[in-house]
Amino acid sequence: MVADNKFQVLENMGKSPNVVREKAAVTRPRRETLNGHRSVNLWFTGLSGSGKSTLAHAVEERLHLMGCRTYVFDGDNVRHGLCSDLGFSLEDRSENMRRVAEMIGLFIDAGVISLTAFISPLEADRRRVKELIGAENILEIYCNCSLEICESRDVKGLYKKAREGKIKNYTGISSPYEPPKQPDLDLNTGEQSLNECVKIIVAELKDRGVIL
């Protein structure tokens, strides 16, 4: 409910007067034809340590070698610039997702396959992302990994700090994570190999006609 209310406030504040959306002569279908593939967003969600960024970059590498135009948006990298003014409260996380969704929409229009690796812990935020960019333009990929395994991969020691109370609002410890109810792909990243997960995603893109 907090996330939904936050989005409503942001939507009301974000209405710019006297602004008209321009129509480009070069359209998304023309860009997709030039690129040789459709544009789509692969949204990786899961706990910290579940393998989101590793998998996103591995999939991008595979697609790049296949001649696809791609770009990875990593949660940490986005917070260095576009969202550097945001913290990790549920409200700030919601605004973070809204900004990312708007950015993804531009990449979809550009005919690019974008890959986003964000914890995105709340179902309401992920639902709003789909509403903003169109559910038909996104594949939700759940990196399904147990908290125990995620903690064992914690090379930065962030989970340990969170359990000691040194980090607030840490997902899985002091802040909630709501698993996707019906993700497009549910990958057991705690047991399946990286290569196996990449193959599953690439196969899904082929089945959907995104790539040849």
> What are the catalytic residues?
120
Question: According to DSSP H, which parts of 36-157 are helical?
Answer: 52-65, 75-78, 90-109, 123-133, 147-152
* CA dihedral sign of residues 175, 71, 203, 51: negative
Question: Is the CB of residue 147 less than 8 Å from the CB of residue 172?
Answer: yes
Distances 182 to 89, 123, 210 between C-alpha atoms, Å: 25, 11, 20
Distances 112 to 51, 60, 66 between C-alpha atoms, Å: 23, 11, 14
Q: Which residue has the tokens 């047991």?
A: 191
